[in-house]
């Protein structure tokens, strides 16, 4: 048995055991898909013609939840109320079909659909490769996806990230083939659910795929407004003036692993960890500077590679995602699902397209993946850390892992030897057609 086959067998076993445990916890864990209750409640309001109460809260909301058959959960000895809706009105419209059945049934349907979407995203990542290479890469992608803790956590919390991931991967592959309108529609749908995917429109614009970028922006606006007939304009005003501003800052909470959260834990007084004083203005300034530098570097190399006519297109796409997740003010651990394309495209670059170098880069990326997958996976582990300034180090381990991944991919994308991105699958584009991926 060769080494590669042995490795695949090991990864498959790990995915079955560790991934199976993660899926089991998503089904039966104490949080019971806590966040999904927001989707269901919002969808049920639309179904019952109460869209105007979408952002209702307090005792009235809890009584409505009881009437809908949605109960709060008991986690770590504490009873948690049903969370009030924090998502755009479009999500309520999207969730309405799932609200046509009882809550418990709906939650399991949503969980099953999320697992299927995660698998589909892993398979689509390497669409178009030749049969042998593509088969090996898709097997590795499936295993890596279901070993990845952020996916377990996303399913455990009842988050919609798997749907977003498959929309973004499909948009990437359609854009890769020049099907700009279809790709733009999918990217716009993702941005209408959670705003941050719209950053990718800038990536496609730099690739001179202007139709795709414009379609994404237009469809995001249209879909975002599509719920207005069933909710009314007042709900939109409430979302943009009250709900969205309150949701933009995740603070120092340990599950928040973006630049602003790391700086908040280190430079402002908080209940999570001891800090180096209280400097909220400095946190704001440094966070903004980090976002400009991180995204600016990505877009610089994206534009440069487009001009030269050779581009590691998929790696650049995944790098935009990694940079965005790194600089978001609210970057919960389940958002790291969107790091998977960067890990997997980087693996492909050195395992199937390189000439044997890059061992250090691949090792660092593997370390980053392992930190995200196996380190500090429960709240109890976080809370066991002492209230000391040095605890900032383990509390920010996953942010550090994201930073390492970002630097690894940026290094590969930024190298001048674009000729090393040899074509390993049968995709060609006419050199005369701007904005297309040429090798």
Tens digit of pLDDT at every position of the chain (439 positions):
677 788 888 888 999 999 999 989 888 887 778 899 999 999 999 999 998 889 998 888 999 999 999 887 766 666 778 888 899 999 999 999 999 999 999 999 999 999 999 999 999 999 888 888 888 899 999 999 999 999 999 999 999 999 999 999 999 999 988 899 999 999 999 999 999 999 999 999 999 999 999 999 999 999 999 999 999 999 999 999 999 888 888 899 999 999 999 999 999 999 999 999 999 999 999 999 999 999 999 999 888 776 544 568 899 999 999 999 999 999 999 999 999 999 999 998 888 765 456 788 999 999 999 999 999 998 889 999 999 999 999 999 999 999 999 999 999 988 755 444 434 333 433 333 333 333 3
- Please give the pLDDT value at position 38: 92
> Exposed/middle/buried for 141, CB within 10 Å: 0-12, 13-18, 19+?
buried
Write the CB contacts of 356 (distance below 8 Å, at least 6 apart in sequence): none
- Please give the pLDDT value at position 78: 67
What's the CA gap between 118 and 107, in Å, rounded?
Answer: 16
Neighbours of 428 (CB within 10 A): 10
> Exposed/middle/buried for 159, CB within 10 Å: 0-12, 13-18, 19+?
buried
- Please give the pLDDT value at position 309: 44
Write the CB contacts of 21 (distance below 8 Å, at least 6 apart in sequence): none
What's the CA gap between 52 and 31, in Å, rounded?
Answer: 28
What's the CA gap between 3 and 9, in Å, rounded?
Answer: 10
Q: Which residues of 366-397 are buried (b: 16+ CB within 10 A; e: fewer)?
A: eebbebbbeebbeeeebeebeeeeebbebbbe
Q: Phi then psi for 152, rounded to 5 degrees? A: -55, -45
CB of 414 within 8 A of CB of 302?
no
pTM of the model: 0.90
What are the start-end ranges of the H helices in 251-349? 259-267, 280-308, 313-327, 340-348
């Amino acid at each position: 048995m060769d080494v590669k086959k042995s490795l695949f067998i090991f990864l498959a076993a790990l995915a079955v055991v560790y991934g199976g445990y993660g899926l089991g916890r998503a089904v039966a864990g104490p949080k019971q898909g806590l966040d999904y209750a927001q989707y269901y409640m919002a969808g049920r309001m639309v179904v019952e013609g109460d869209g105007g109460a979408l952002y209702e809260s307090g005792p009235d909301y809890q009584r409505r939840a009881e009437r809908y058959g949605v109960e709060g959960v008991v986690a770590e000895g504490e009873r948690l109320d049903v969370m009030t809706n924090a998502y755009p009105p479009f999500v309520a419209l999207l969730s309405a079909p799932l609200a046509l059945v009882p809550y418990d049934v709906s939650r399991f349907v949503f969980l099953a659909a999320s697992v299927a979407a995660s698998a589909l995203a892993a398979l689509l990542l390497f669409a178009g490769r030749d049969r042998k290479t593509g088969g090996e890469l898709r097997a590795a992608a499936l295993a890596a996806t279901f070993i990845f803790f952020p996916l377990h956590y996303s399913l455990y919390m009842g988050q919609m990230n798997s749907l977003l991931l498959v929309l973004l991967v499909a948009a990437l592959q359609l854009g890769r083939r020049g099907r700009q309108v279809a790709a733009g529609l999918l990217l716009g749908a993702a941005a209408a659910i959670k705003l941050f995917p719209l950053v990718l429109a800038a990536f496609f614009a730099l690739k001179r795929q202007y139709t795709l970028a414009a379609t994404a922006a237009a469809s995001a606006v249209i879909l975002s407004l599509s719920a207005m007939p069933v909710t009314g304009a007042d709900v939109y005003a409430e979302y943009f003036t009250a709900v969205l501003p309150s949701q933009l800052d995740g603070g120092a909470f340990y599950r928040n692993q973006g630049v602003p959260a790391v700086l908040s834990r280190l430079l402002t007084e908080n209940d999570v960890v001891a800090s180096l004083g209280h400097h909220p203005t400095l946190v704001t300034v440094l966070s903004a500077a980090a976002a400009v530098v991180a995204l600016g570097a990505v877009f610089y190399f994206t534009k440069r590679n487009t001009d030269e006519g050779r581009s590691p297109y998929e790696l650049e796409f995944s790098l935009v995602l990694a940079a965005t997740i790194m600089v978001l003010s609210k970057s919960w651990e389940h958002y790291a699902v969107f790091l998977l394309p960067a890990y997997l495209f980087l693996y492909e670059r050195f395992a199937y397209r390189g000439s044997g170098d890059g061992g250090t880069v691949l090792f660092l990326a593997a370390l980053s993946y392992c930190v995200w997958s196996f380190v500090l996976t429960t709240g109890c582990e976080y809370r066991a850390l002492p209230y000391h300034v040095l605890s900032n180090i383990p509390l920010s381990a996953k942010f550090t892992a994201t930073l390492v991944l970002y630097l690894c991919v940026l290094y590969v994308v930024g190298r001048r030897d674009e000729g090393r991105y040899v074509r390993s699958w049968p995709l060609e584009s006419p050199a005369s057609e701007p904005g297309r991926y040429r090798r």
